[in-house]
């Protein structure tokens, strides 16, 4: 199991927010990250398309010997994780909006969730939110265009700020005191988001918790026992040049990206 990589994928670069924590927590593991940038965003696609793309990437990762797959995308997790857990013989770890941790923070029981329309309209998310709506008021905000800004590396442009103001003002008008980042791309926007919302509002990001969950799963039998540092490979189905620039910017170091057709 030592050299078998942990496969990680997202519609694009958003899942790097999860990869960063995984790399920090599990430095010995080989990581293989696929950004499906050639087909992003997933948030406005139908489930059949997301399943088809996720299957192609999953089967690529399995062919590379992945021992565990992290679906670092809320939208894809919502569509396919249960099916894939049944169909493929390895563990899958997914990401979903952190409503449960948000409940631990909220004082007025008003929680806002920023996510893609695909996540918000999925059966999995509806089931998750129904579990809690007796005790809290949940305000879902889909954020078209926001993942594209991150995908293009435009974290602090006026356009990104305007989009954030538009979506956040709807949540703020509901007096939410806690906001869940329900899309892995949005983690990279926490600085401009914090500049718009007031300090007393809690921002919930589950990317660290996903890495901890991976650690628990690996600890059962899959953890690399070698002492040397693991290697991290980045692949994209989109433009190598653009993805390389965006990934290096998000990770704050130069990375080499290869092409996955
Ligand atoms: N990063 C993805 C998520 O967590 C979605 C972005 C997109 O492709 O729309 O939901």
Q: Which pLDDT belongs to residue 228?
A: 86
Residue 231 tokens, joined: 């290697």
Can you give the pLDDT at residue 142?
98
- To test the pocket of ligand 1, the residue of 8, 13, 14, 98 to mutate (highest count of ligand atoms within 8 Å of its CB) is 14
Sign of CA dihedral 56, 34, 99, 147: negative
What's the 253 CA to ligand 1 centre distance in angstroms?
23
Q: What is the pLDDT of residues 71-121, one digit of tens each?
A: 999 999 999 999 999 999 899 999 999 999 999 999 999 999 999 999 999
Q: Looking at the domain 6-95+208-259, which fold is it? A: Rossmann fold (3.40.50)
Positive or negative: CA dihedral 54, 55, 57, 58: positive
| 12, 79, 124, best to mutate for ligand 1 pocket (most atoms within 8 Å of CB) | 12
Say how far apart CA 69 and CA 182 lie, in whole Å: 19
**Which amino acid residue places its CA nearest to atom 8 of ligand 1?**
41
Q: Which residues are part of the catalytic machinery?
A: 73, 183
DSSP result, 164-208: HHHHHHHHHTTT-SEEEE-SGGGGGGHHHHHHHS-TTSEEE--HH
Report the helix count and the strand count for the chain, using DSSP H and E: 11, 10
Please name which of 195, 198, 162 lies closest in space to residue 178, comparing C-alpha atoms.
198
Q: Within the chain, which residue ranges are assigned CATH 3.40.50.1860?
A: 6-95+208-259, 99-204
Distance from residue 225's CA to the centre of ligand 1 (Å): 33
- The mean-pLDDT minimum among 41-55, 57-71, 208-222, 246-260 falls in 208-222
**Among 199, 168, 166, 206, residue whose Cα is nearest residue 184:** 206
| Measured distance CA(151)–CA(181) in Å, rounded | 16
Tell me if the bond preceding 41 is cis, omega within 30° of 0: yes
Ligand 1 atom closest to residue 76's alpha carbon, by position in its atom list: 10
The answer to whether domain 99-204 has CATH 2.40.50.140 is: no
Measured in Å, residue 130 CA sits from the centre of ligand 1 at: 22
| Residues in the ligand 1 pocket, defined by CB under 6 Å | 10-11, 14, 40-43, 73-75, 116, 119, 147, 183-185
pLDDT confidence of 133, banded at 50, 70, 90?
Answer: confident
pLDDT in tens, 177-204: 999 999 999 999 999 999 999 889 999 9
Measured in Å, residue 11 CA sits from the centre of ligand 1 at 6
In this structure, are residues 42 and 53 in contact, taking their beta carbons and an 8 Å threshold?
yes
**∠ CA 149-153-156, rounded to 5°:** 75
Identify the band that residue 261 occupies on the pLDDT scale cut at 50, 70 and 90.
confident
CA distance 257 to 100: 35
The fraction of the chain above a pLDDT of 70, given in percent, is 100
Q: What is the mean pLDDT of residues 61-69?
A: 97
């Amino acid at each position: 199991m030592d050299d078998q990589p942990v496969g990680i994928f997202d519609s694009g670069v958003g899942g790097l927010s999860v990869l960063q924590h995984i790399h920090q927590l599990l430095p010995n593991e080989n990581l293989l990250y696929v950004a499906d940038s050639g087909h992003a965003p997933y948030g406005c696609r139908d489930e059949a398309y997301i399943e088809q793309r996720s299957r192609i990437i999953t089967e690529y990762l399995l062919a590379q010997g992945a021992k565990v797959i992290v679906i670092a995308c809320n939208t894809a997790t919502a569509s396919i994780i249960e099916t894939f857990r049944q169909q493929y013989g390895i563990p899958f770890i997914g990401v979903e909006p952190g409503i449960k941790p948000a409940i631990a923070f909220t004082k007025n029981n008003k929680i806002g969730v920023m996510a893609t329309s695909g996540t918000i309209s999925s059966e999995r998310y509806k089931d998750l939110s129904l579990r809690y709506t007796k005790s809290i008021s949940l305000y879902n905000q889909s954020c078209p265009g926001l993942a594209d800004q991150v995908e293009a590396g435009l974290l602090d442009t006026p356009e990104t700020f305007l989009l954030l103001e538009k979506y956040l003002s709807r949540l703020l008008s509901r007096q939410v005191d806690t906001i869940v980042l329900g899309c892995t791309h949005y983690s990279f926007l926490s600085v401009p988001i914090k500049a718009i919302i007031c300090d007393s509002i809690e921002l919930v990001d589950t990317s660290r918790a996903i890495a901890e969950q991976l650690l628990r799963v690996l600890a059962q039998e899959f953890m690399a026992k070698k002492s040397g540092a693991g290697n991290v490979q980045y692949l994209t189905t989109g433009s190598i040049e653009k993805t390389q620039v965006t990934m290096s910017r998000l990770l704050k170091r130069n990375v080499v990206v290869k092409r996955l057709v």
